[in-house]
Amino acid sequence: MDTKVLYVTAVVIAAVSGGFYYFGGKGNKLQADSSKSMTYSAENINLTQTDEQGKLHIRAQVDRLEQDLQKQTSHLVNLKASTYQDGAVDATFFAKQANGMDDNQKVVLSDNVVATKLMREGQMEFRTEELTAFPKLREIETDKTVTVVSPQAEFVSQGLKANLNDGQYEFFNIRGKYEP
C-alpha cells in the first residue's frame, strides 16, 4: 500500500472526525458546562434596575457578592436596597447578610435586618433578625420576632406577612401600644 493513500485516508478520517466534533456542538457544550459551574464574586456593587416601562424599579448597594450560577444562589454582604413605585422610593431594606435562591426569586435577609415602608402618613419600620423577601411579588415574611414602629403604633410581633403592593400586613401574637 502506498504511503500517499495512507496520508489521504488519515487526513479524511481526521477531517470527518473534527467536523463531526465541531458541528456536533460538543466543543460549545463543554464551554457552557464549565462556565455554569463557576462561582463569581464582586465587591462594592451599585445596582440600578428599571421596569419594563423604563421607570426606576430598584437601587441597591452591596459590599460583596458571591454568585453560583449552577445552583442559582447568591450571597450578599451589607445589602442596602430601595424599591421604587411611580418614580419615588417605596421601601428600603438593610441587612448585613442576604442569601438569594432560585435566581433571587426568594431572598433571605439576616443579621440586623431593617425594612422600611414609606407611606403618606409617615413610615413603618420593621426590625428583625431574619426576613424572607420575594422581590417579584413584593412580599415579605418572617416567623422571627419583629419590632414594628409606625406613626400610630409601636409593638412587637412574633412573625409577619406583608404584601407591599396593597399594604396588607399580618402580625402574630402582638404586644405593644397603639395611638390612633
Tell me the pLDDT tens digit for each residue of 61-77: 999 999 888 888 999 99
What the block records as the C-alpha cell of 134 is: 420575594
Share of the chain above pLDDT 90, in %: 37
Amino acid 49 reads Q
43-to-2, 82, 126 alpha-carbon distances in Å: 64, 19, 27
CA-nearest of 179, 65, 164 to 117 is 164
Q: Determine if the pTM surpasses 0.75.
A: no
Residues 6+ apart with CB under 8 A from 177: 153, 154, 155
